[in-house]
């Protein structure tokens, strides 16, 4: 069964450093998402991406964040200058074409900013 | 406003018993989805119910949706220790982005 994959599974970084989180969505999907979950809290929407551009972003997704789909398979989330409060689990998700349907989530990247 | 609020926040039952979790939301939705998360792990999709559906079954799972009350319930029958996890409802609302809004989740513990 196709699945969303994410790398790395864990990342530890120093405050102020740049991190890139990588995702490979399901191959025929068209909608891509990043969500995050701070420890013990609910999953929060960050950004949606469709047709090679951001279609919606949340208040959390400020200028420090960016997304890219550099080729036909990868979908990346970059945090330019990490803050302590960026420590969280980051999930990538993808959805197929058509009206509302299942979003498939990757296993997540646990980011720890020291 | 907060979308997708589950209750109870935590539920502890014995193996073999049924577990019921509830979710309320505030805005109109396209569909409501339930996900499961084992401690510190990824989100596993369980079931999706569309706004024009009232009930859906999948194995030991039964989901109901009452759009007039803006609420949903997830019933897990004949629970097993392996069902121990956090369960989240997520609503997909109007618009073309299909983003999900998650609730805070119910932590289910099934004791052997």
CB of B2 within 8 Å of any CB in chain A? no
pLDDT for the residue numbered A37: 94
And the tokens for A22?
A: 């990588």
Which residue in the set B35, B43, B99 is minimally distant from A56, CB to CB? B99
Q: What's the pLDDT score for residue B66?
A: 96
**Cβ-based contacts of B98 with chain A (< 8 Å):** 31, 48, 95, 100-101, 103
Please say if the pLDDT value at position B3 is more than 60: no
Mutate to test the interface with B, among A26, A103, A106, A108 (most CBs of B within 10 A): A103
Mean pLDDT of the A35-56 span:
92
Assess contact for A108 and A91: CB atoms under 8 A.
yes
Q: How confident is the model at residue B47 (pLDDT cuts 50, 70, 90)?
A: very high
Judge whether residue A73 has pLDDT over 90: no
Per-residue tokens: A38: 């701070």
Residue numbers in A near B35 (CB within 8 A): 105
Instruction: Give the mutation candidate from B3, B9, B100, B107 for the A interface (greatest A CB count, under 10 A).
Output: B100
pLDDT reported for residue B2 = 40
- What does the pLDDT read at residue B1? 32
Q: Band of the pLDDT at B93, cuts 50, 70, 90?
A: confident
> Across the interface, do B42 and A48 touch by the CB < 8 Å criterion?
no
Cβ atoms of A60 and A67 within 8 Å: the answer is no
**Predicted pLDDT at B4:** 63
Confidence of residue B102 (pLDDT cuts 50, 70, 90): very high
Q: How confident is the model at residue A100 (pLDDT cuts 50, 70, 90)?
A: low
Residue B29, phi then psi, degrees to nearest 5: -130, 160
- Section B24-49 average pLDDT: 91
Q: List C-alpha distances in Å: B68 to A61, B9, B51, B54, B72.
A: 33, 23, 10, 11, 11
Distances (CA, A) of B89 to A7, A80, A96, B101: 26, 32, 20, 8
Q: How many CA atoms lie within 13 A of B103 on its CB side?
A: 29
Q: Is the pLDDT of residue A42 over 70?
A: yes
Output the average pLDDT for chain A. Answer: 93
- Kindly indicate the confidence band of residue B36, based on its pLDDT and cuts at 50, 70 and 90: very high
Give how far A108 is from chain B: nearest CA, Å: 6
Percent of chain A with pLDDT over 90: 81
Averaged pLDDT, A1-10: 91
Pairwise CB contact (< 8 Å): A56 & B33: no
Residue numbers in B near A55 (CB within 8 A): 96-97
Residues of A in contact with B90 (CB under 8 A): 43
Say which of B92, B98, B104 has its CB closest to residue A42: B104
Lowest mean pLDDT of A58-67, A100-109, B63-72, B77-86, name the range: A100-109
CB B32 within 8 A of CB B65: yes
Q: For B61-85, write each residue's pLDDT tens digit.
A: 999 999 999 999 999 999 999 999 9
Distance CA B51, CA B100 (A): 14
């Amino acid at each position: 069964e196709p699945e969303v994959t994410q790398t790395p599974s864990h990342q530890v970084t120093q405050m102020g450093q740049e991190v890139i989180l990588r995702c490979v969505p399901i191959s025929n999907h068209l909608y891509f998402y990043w969500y995050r979950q701070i420890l013990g809290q609910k999953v929060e929407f960050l950004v949606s991406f469709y047709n090679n551009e951001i279609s919606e972003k949340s208040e959390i997704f400020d200028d420090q964040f960016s997304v890219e789909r550099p080729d036909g398979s990868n979908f990346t989330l970059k945090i330019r200058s990490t803050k302590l409060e960026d420590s969280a689990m980051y999930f990538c998700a993808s959805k197929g074409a058509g009206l509302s349907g299942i979003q498939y989530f990757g296993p997540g990247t646990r980011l720890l900013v020291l | 406003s907060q979308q997708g609020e589950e209750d109870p926040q935590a539920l502890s039952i014995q193996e073999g018993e049924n577990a019921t979790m509830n979710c309320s939301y505030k805005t109109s939705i396209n569909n409501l989805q339930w996900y499961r998360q084992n401690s510190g792990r990824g989100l596993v999709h369980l079931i999706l119910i569309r706004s024009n559906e009232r009930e859906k079954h999948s194995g030991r799972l039964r989901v109901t949706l009452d759009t007039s009350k803006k609420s949903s319930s997830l019933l897990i029958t004949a629970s097993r220790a392996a069902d121990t996890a956090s369960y989240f409802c997520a609503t997909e609302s109007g618009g073309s982005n299909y983003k999900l809004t998650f609730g805070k989740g119910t932590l289910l513990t099934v004791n052997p």
